[in-house]
């Protein structure tokens, strides 16, 4: 056929028509879609058998029940457990994103390592567990041989009463060092407040769910305080529209946090004046004689004025409060109008079951001791101590104590040395750890008193206020060992890494979730095989002790950490009356109030142990309310408005110096009887400095990790673009304050304190108190990977931490700053 124009066109048309009858174009279009969408680098998740594993989240001391969905052994999703009494169904966003912490190789240590780069560079070399253990134990044995076991110190961030914390403490003591130092948390403030006012060792137990008026002083109920799953669940129930409940939540806080915004009432005193507000409310209640007469007269000490045997007149709480904290005086201090103070006090005391609770944000760091005590006086005035819906007094969980450690001469001598941080000494009689003092002690001398520092479950180089000083101290410590599973800031300073498992890989316990109103023991179990070459810190400690041998080894007769846990849990069995399962039909807080008889549901210890291991819980919702006989274990046997223990402590210390000097050493400004009662210390509201006219207050939010855990990257999706944009984080200031400084939204500023400076952007926030700069905690990591490193700034960089009176713990909630526009 001749190829001319006509034929060519014919062929084209014929071909085009013919194509319509072949599947080729359709097949090709389909294939193109498939080819362009299936790249070898796109992951294809493998299918497999679906299984569910129940456990407990140990990312924070809340200990919520979790269920992990697995596919062919791989964990693919974490969900809340509905069959767990603490958090029926819900968990917080951090727990929800926990799998990213499990698998993300670039933020974890994949095995034991030793440092090869300069300190802080994060350059390590893989070594074997054998070599790592040998390195550490050889060093400790040498120190013991040279008679200096006390130069080993530990910094521990495991929750206070947990078995893991007990193991760390035991290990340090068995070596012969008294220097077991804990990271400060709100639990310390609760513990000291309970000891001073009530003489009780049990945890703070707030019966929120049975209360009908919750007056929260700074407690970040919706920011992640306590067991977030529990508080959130209660919040949902309080706001259930179908049930006609009249429950009111009042938040006392200077910034419109989520809790303050969502509460029924928001009261915004100047930060640091919360104690004055609490006492002002107490004053109104006392003046109007609305307090619980019976409780005050029979169960308290120091309320009325009294005369001691030697004829000295003492001022009671009543006189002190009426004299110093009238509505007008309180208004002057706090900035809340007298009318509001009176109406708030009346609402509180007239409620059926009011409760005043204390906290600072999530409770990651400590609070102010006198402030906590001032809040507790409101509960005493309302007579709601050990009452449903009030503050419940429990004994500590009946776990078996571990046998006393074996001590040879070296150990005994070491243990007799004074603690480096002076906690528990005559100067700090109520504190059990003061990490800020440790920092100062290391910095003070030319040679660090600590030779070997062991760091467990904590990241003080990031979380401590004024961590710059702490890092400086770290540089002076000759040998640092980190047990962290994560490549955090502190671990990057370490010489040796013995990485722990992450939360989903290990056995670990939660001894009484923070703030819970009934005794509760949670047991987390490994839900996945260890992903990397890490080991349970508890097992590693046992191994190290055995390797050191002598009495140190003899103090650890167990084969595994689980065996230790089992030994302790035996105490729960012996105490009787606990439950090891939860079906959701009656919440534990309801059971406790209804005082039903409980069926413990296990036959023998082995049966119970098996059930605790699989179910992860033991709890006992039975309690004797009202009974106040022998409840308070203070020297007077009563709830003490006037603390005889503080008085004695000051007296004891004044044997060395004068009384005034003793008070000054304790950080107490008041001279008279007021010093021994909860009172407001003007310094806690910040000193006036003309060069630094503004106050910086750090704040926590639920979807940002401000503790030692790295934030799961999923959380980055939840941050607003006026919280983080690119690598800039924001400071919130009131539009009025901003206009004073000529600042607009998004402007870049330097926040400068006497310690240092940080660069942020400005977010205009109506919920910010004028004159205050609010900076979120949790940004500004210098460690980890692209999801966290270099994002935003850490307010801890520039916090000038003062000392809280009496407790000696850091005051981190106010720093005088100035703003410089960039």
Partner 1 sequence: MEEEHGHGNKYGMVIDLDKCTGCGTCMVACAAENNLSVRPDESDKQHSITWMSLYKISNGKKFPDTEYSYFPRPCMHCNHHTPCVSVCPATATKIDFNTGIVSQIYARCIGCRYCMAACPYHARSFNWWDGYFPKGKGLERYLSPEVSPRMRGVVEKCSFCHHRLMRAKTKAYTENRRELEENEYITACAEACPVQAITFGDLNNPEHKVSKLAKSPYAFRLLERLGTEPKVYYLSTKDWVRKFADNYLPGEFKPVTSPKG
Q: Which of residues 15-34 bind partner 1 (CB under 8 A)?
A: 33-34
CB of 714 to partner 1, least distance (A): 5
Q: Which region, judged by CB under 8 A, interacts with partner 1, from 41-49, 285-293, 567-575, 632-640?
A: 41-49
Residue 384 φ then ψ, to 5°: -100, 20
Q: Counting beta carbons within 10 angstroms of the beta carbon of residue 554, is it exposed (0 to 12), middle (13 to 18) or buried (19 or more)? A: middle
CB of 259 to partner 1, least distance (A): 8
| Rg of the chain over all Cα atoms, to the nearest angstrom | 29
**Binding residue for partner 1 (CB under 8 A) from 96, 249, 345, 454?**
96
Q: Which is nearer to partner 1, 96 or 204 (CB)?
A: 96
CB of 787 to partner 1, least distance (A): 6
Residues 712-731 that bind partner 1 (CB under 8 A): 712-721, 724-726
- Cβ neighbours around 39 below 10 Å, total: 7
Residues 6+ apart with CB under 8 A from 710: 101, 107, 486, 488, 781, 784, 788
Q: Note whether 97 binds partner 1 by CB under 8 A.
A: yes
Q: How many residues bind partner 1 (CB under 8 A)?
A: 80
CB of 37 to partner 1, least distance (A): 4
- Cβ neighbours around 10 below 10 Å, total: 12
**Binding residue for partner 1 (CB under 8 A) from 44, 309, 404, 691?**
44
Q: Which is nearer to partner 1, 629 or 766 (CB)?
A: 766
Among residues 382, 508, 493, 502, which one has the least CA distance to residue 61?
Answer: 508
Q: Which is nearer to partner 1, 524 or 768 (CB)?
A: 768
Q: Which region, judged by CB under 8 A, interacts with partner 1, from 276-284, 346-354, 621-629, 709-717?
A: 709-717
Distance of CA 389 to the CA centre of its chain: 24
Site mask for partner 1 (CB under 8 A), range 756-785, x = bound:
----------xxxxx--------------x
**Binding residue for partner 1 (CB under 8 A) from 102, 252, 356, 481?**
102
Residues 583-622 that bind partner 1 (CB under 8 A): none
Residue 607 φ then ψ, to 5°: -65, -45
**Measured distance CA(425)–CA(431) in Å, rounded:** 9
| Joined tokens for residue 54 | 């129940």
Residues 463-482 that bind partner 1 (CB under 8 A): none
Q: Note whether 229 binds partner 1 by CB under 8 A.
A: yes
Residue 415 φ then ψ, to 5°: -70, -20
Q: Which is nearer to partner 1, 49 or 310 (CB)?
A: 49
CB of 822 to partner 1, least distance (A): 19
- Dihedral angle computed from the Cα positions of residues 601, 607, 610 and 613, in that order, rounded to the nearest 10 degrees: 50
CB of 162 to partner 1, least distance (A): 23
**Binding residue for partner 1 (CB under 8 A) from 228, 302, 616, 621?**
228
Q: Note whether 92 binds partner 1 by CB under 8 A.
A: yes
Residues 781-810 that bind partner 1 (CB under 8 A): 785-787
Residues 403-422 that bind partner 1 (CB under 8 A): none
CB of 722 to partner 1, least distance (A): 9
**Binding residue for partner 1 (CB under 8 A) from 137, 211, 457, 734?**
734
Q: Counting beta carbons within 10 angstroms of the beta carbon of residue 73, is it exposed (0 to 12), middle (13 to 18) or buried (19 or more)? A: exposed
DSSP string, 738-776: HHHTT--TT-EEEEE-SS-EEEEEEEE-TTSPTTEEEEE
Residues 342-361 that bind partner 1 (CB under 8 A): none
Q: Counting beta carbons within 10 angstroms of the beta carbon of residue 649, is it exposed (0 to 12), middle (13 to 18) or buried (19 or more)? A: buried
Q: Which is nearer to partner 1, 268 or 474 (CB)?
A: 268
Any alpha helices (H) in 449-560, and if so which ranges? 460-463, 467-476, 537-548, 550-554
**Binding residue for partner 1 (CB under 8 A) from 57, 59, 86, 99?**
99
Residues 233-252 that bind partner 1 (CB under 8 A): 233, 235-236, 239-241
CB of 688 to partner 1, least distance (A): 21
- Cβ neighbours around 577 below 10 Å, total: 13
**Binding residue for partner 1 (CB under 8 A) from 63, 85, 89, 111?**
89
Q: Which is nearer to partner 1, 271 or 388 (CB)?
A: 271
Residues 251-270 that bind partner 1 (CB under 8 A): 256, 258, 261-262, 266, 268
Question: What strands, in cross-sheet order, belong to the sheet with 520-524?
Answer: 508-511, 520-524, 617-619
Among residues 52, 63, 20, which one has the least CA distance to residue 521?
Answer: 63
CB of 481 to partner 1, least distance (A): 25
Distance of CA 124 to the CA centre of its chain: 30
Decide if 528 contacts 68 (C-beta within 8 A): yes
- Dihedral angle computed from the Cα positions of residues 338, 270, 354 and 220, in that order, rounded to the nearest 10 degrees: 160
Q: Note whether 105 binds partner 1 by CB under 8 A.
A: yes
**Binding residue for partner 1 (CB under 8 A) from 78, 393, 646, 819?**
78
CB of 566 to partner 1, least distance (A): 31
Q: Which is nearer to partner 1, 388 or 513 (CB)?
A: 513
């Amino acid at each position: 056929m001749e190829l001319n124009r006509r034929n060519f066109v014919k062929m084209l048309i014929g071909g085009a028509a013919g194509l319509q009858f072949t599947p080729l174009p359709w097949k090709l279009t389909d294939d193109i879609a498939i080819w362009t969408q299936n790249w070898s680098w796109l992951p294809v998740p493998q299918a497999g058998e679906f299984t569910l594993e129940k456990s407990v989240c140990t990312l924070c001391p809340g200990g919520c029940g979790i269920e992990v969905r697995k596919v062919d052994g791989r964990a693919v999703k974490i969900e809340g457990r509905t069959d767990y009494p603490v958090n029926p169904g819900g968990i917080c966003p951090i727990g929800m994103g926990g799998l990213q912490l499990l698998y993300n190789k670039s933020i974890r240590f994949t095995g034991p390592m030793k440092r090869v780069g300069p300190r802080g560079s994060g350059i390590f070399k893989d070594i074997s567990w054998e070599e790592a253990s040998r390195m550490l134990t050889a060093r400790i044995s040498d120190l013991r041989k040279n008679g200096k076991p006390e130069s080993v110190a530990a910094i521990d961030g495991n929750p206070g009463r947990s078995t893991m914390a007990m193991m760390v403490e035991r290990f340090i003591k068995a070596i012969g060092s008294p220097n077991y130092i804990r990271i400060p948390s709100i639990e310390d403030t609760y513990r000291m407040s309970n000891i001073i006012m009530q003489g009780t060792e049990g945890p703070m137990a707030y019966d929120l769910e049975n209360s009908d008026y919750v007056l929260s002083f700074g407690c970040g109920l919706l920011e992640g305080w306590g067991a977030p799953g529990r508080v959130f669940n209660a919040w949902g129930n309080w706001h259930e529209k179908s049930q006609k409940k009249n429950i009111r939540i009042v938040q006392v806080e200077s910034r419109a946090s989520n809790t303050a915004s969502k509460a029924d009432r928001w009261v915004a005193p100047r930060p640091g004046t919360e104690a004055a507000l609490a006492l002002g409310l107490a004053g109104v209640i006392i003046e109007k004689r609305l307090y619980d007469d019976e409780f005050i007269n029979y169960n308290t000490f120091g309320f009325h004025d009294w005369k001691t045997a030697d004829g000295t007149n003492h001022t009671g709480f009543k006189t002190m409060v009426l004299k110093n904290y009238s509505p007008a005086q309180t208004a002057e201090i706090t900035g809340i109008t007298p009318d509001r103070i009176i109406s708030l006090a009346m609402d509180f005391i007239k409620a059926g079951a009011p409760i005043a609770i204390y906290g600072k944000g999530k409770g990651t760091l400590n609070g102010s001791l006198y402030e906590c005590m001032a809040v507790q006086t409101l509960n005493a005035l309302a007579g709601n101590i050990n009452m449903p819906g009030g503050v419940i007094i429990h004994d500590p969980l009946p776990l078996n104590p571990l046998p006393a450690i074996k001590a040879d001469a070296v150990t005994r001598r070491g243990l007799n040395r004074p603690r480096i941080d002076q906690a528990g000494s005559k100067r700090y009689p109520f504190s059990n750890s003061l990490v800020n003092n440790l920092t100062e002690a290391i910095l003070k001398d030319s040679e660090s008193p600590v030779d070997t520092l062991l760091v467990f479950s904590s990241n003080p180089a990031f979380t401590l206020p004024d961590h710059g000083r702490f890092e400086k101290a770290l540089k002076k410590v000759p040998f640092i060992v980190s047990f962290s599973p994560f490549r955090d800031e502190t671990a990057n300073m370490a010489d040796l890494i013995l990485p722990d498992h992450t939360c989903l890989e290990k056995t670990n316990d939660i001894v009484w979730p923070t703030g819970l109103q009934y005794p509760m023991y949670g047991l987390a179990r490994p839900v996945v095989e260890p992903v990397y070459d890490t080991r349970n810190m508890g097992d590693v400690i046992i191994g190290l002790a055995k390797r050191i041998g002598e009495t140190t080894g003899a103090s650890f007769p167990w084969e595994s950490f689980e065996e230790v846990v089992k030994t302790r849990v035996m105490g729960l069995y012996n105490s009787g009356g606990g439950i090891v399962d939860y079906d959701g039909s009656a919440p534990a807080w309801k059971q406790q109030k209804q005082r039903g008889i409980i069926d413990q549901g296990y036959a023998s210890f082995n049966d119970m142990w098996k059930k605790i291991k699989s179910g992860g819980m033991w709890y006992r919702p039975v309690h004797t309310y009202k009974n106040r006989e022998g409840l308070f274990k203070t020297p007077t046997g009563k709830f003490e408005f006037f603390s005889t223990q503080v008085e004695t402590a000051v007296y004891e210390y004044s044997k060395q110096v004068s009384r005034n000097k003793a008070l000054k050493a304790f950080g107490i400004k008041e001279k008279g009887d007021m010093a021994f009662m909860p009172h407001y210390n003007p310094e806690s509201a910040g000193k006036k400095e003309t060069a630094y006219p503004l106050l910086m207050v750090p704040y926590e939010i639920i979807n940002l990790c401000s503790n030692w855990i790295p934030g799961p990257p999923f959380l980055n999706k939840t941050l607003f673009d006026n919280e983080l944009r690119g690598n800039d984080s924001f400071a919130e200031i009131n539009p009025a304050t901003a206009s004073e400084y000529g600042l607009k939204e998004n402007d870049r500023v330097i926040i400068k304190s006497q310690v240092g400076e940080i660069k942020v952007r400005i977010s205009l926030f109506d919920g910010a108190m004028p004159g205050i700069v609010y900076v979120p905690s949790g940004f500004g990591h210098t460690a980890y990977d692209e999801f966290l490193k270099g994002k935003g700034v850490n307010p801890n960089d520039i916090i000038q931490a003062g000392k809280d009176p009496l407790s000696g713990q850091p005051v981190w909630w106010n720093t005088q700053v100035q703003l410089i526009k960039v």
